[in-house]
Amino acid sequence: MSDAFAGFYSMVLTTARPDNTNAIVQALLSQKLAACVQVMPIRSHYVWQGVLREESEEMLFIKSRAEDYPAIEAAIRAVHDYDTPEILRFDVAAGEPSYLDWIGEMTARRGG
């Protein structure tokens, strides 16, 4: 794969409680902000407000266009139930061309 797609596509990661995951997925897919959202159960260990915590969460791997990151972040925040959700963007440097084309097709929005 050439560098033709560098910076064009990204993968956004977020974590959520299992009962909040579906709302996030639906918001992203219905707005064509993601081509695919993969959900994986995880166990998170962290310190929040001075307290060591451990919780069951789900990690969402969101395949998207890099240019849509602000809208993706807004869509996640609109339905997320955390005060400070993890929302991280990783730009795709290279990838299988037909898969990247598919992401582009699934996130194409006509008329605006």
Is residue 10 within 8 A of residue 64, CB to CB? The reply is yes
Secondary structure letter of residue 108 according to DSSP: -
Residue 3 predicted with pLDDT over 80: no
Domain definitions of the chain by residue range: 3-106
Was domain 3-106 assigned CATH 3.40.50.2300?
A: no
Residue 112 predicted with pLDDT over 70: no
Residue 1 predicted with pLDDT over 50: no
- Both tokens of 74, joined, read 């807004």
Per-residue pLDDT tens over the stretch 34-86: 999 999 999 999 999 999 999 999 999 999 999 999 999 999 999 999 999 99
pTM for this one?
0.90
Mean pLDDT of the chain: 93
Q: What is the dihedral of CA 79, 81, 86, 92, to 10 degrees?
A: -20
Find all residues with CB under 8 Å of 81, minimum gap 6, and list them.
16, 17, 20
